Amino acid sequence: MTTVLITGGHSGIGLAAATELAARKVDLILAGRSPDRMRAVADDLRAAHGVSVTTVALDLCSLASVREAATRVPATQLDALLCNAGGRFEGDVTFSPDGYETTFAANCLGHFLLVELLLPQLAENARVIYTASGTHDRDTTDGRMVGAAAEPDAEALATNATALSAGKRYSTSKLCTVMYAYELHRRLRKAGSTVSSIAYDPGSVPGTGFLRGMPRPVQLFSTTRAMNWLSRRLGVTVSDVAFSGASLATLAADPEYADASGKYFQAKQGKLSAVRSAKLSYDERRAAKLWDDSRRLARLTPDEEPAQLR
């Protein structure tokens, strides 16, 4: 393995993954919306591990930014594309520069478009890994606590999600993320491609930026031992930054996961396992519609979309 692109690789789980990959002597491309923070991380990784680290400005909320970022990715083959960045957006519903609800724009459409644009740069046997969340499954504790995921309807989520709570917007975006991973796997295999597409749940990880929109007391309590104990008792999928980041790097680089395409992995209490995702996530008809609607919402042109994904 030589080069991996990771979105959100300058903080939280993404930084832990980038650090692990750099320790394995993998060159990195960090893509995100914080250029100064990315440059500082890049300098640290180069100094500590002697690898090449490139930074690319990317705002996943903006389709124009995604397109611009794709042109700035170095013209080298990518061995893995880690669609890791994302967030939960509290408060009143807000919209992206393209007029789409912010959660769906950032967690879904941005990465959807990025994968479409960079697929031609993926090496043979490369891996695309989508960072999802156990909250996508309405039948689990994770899903019930955040808000049961709604119908994975791209049009409704992008333009008419005002009736959904922040939690539901988040969990539904992660359901869509899992379905993107599975649909990409099916389309690649139909086209005879050896590129892998994997969904990954890093678990509930206190101390990351996930809760940055929540009240300060909530953020502080989320990092306590009491919260960790309570979460485990309730059946929440609990992990920590170091293990979840290392697990993402493992999925990206280890030969053991060369045949992991079309699967869903979960980091939980120090163990990385292949598990079943939500029942709805395996609905191929819904997934195909989600993909085609996302293609339209992203305004893909014929020359942007790889033939094998049509």
pLDDT tens, 133-163? 999 999 888 888 888 999 999 999 999 888 8
CA atoms in the 13 A half-sphere facing the CB of 89: 20
The helix/strand/coil state of 82 is: strand
- pLDDT, residue 265, reads 98
pLDDT digits (tens, 9 = 90+) for 169-182: 999 999 999 999 99
AA identity, residue 181: A
| Cα–Cα distance measured from residue 212 to residue 228, given in angstroms and rounded to the nearest whole number | 18
Among candidate residues 294, 295, 297, 300, the one with its CA nearest the CA of residue 67: 300
pLDDT above 90 covers what percent of the chain?
78
Closest residue by Cα to residue 145 from 86, 224, 222, 31: 222
Fold of 3-204+241-309: Rossmann fold (3.40.50)
Could you state, in order of their start, the residue ranges of all structural domains in the chain? 3-204+241-309
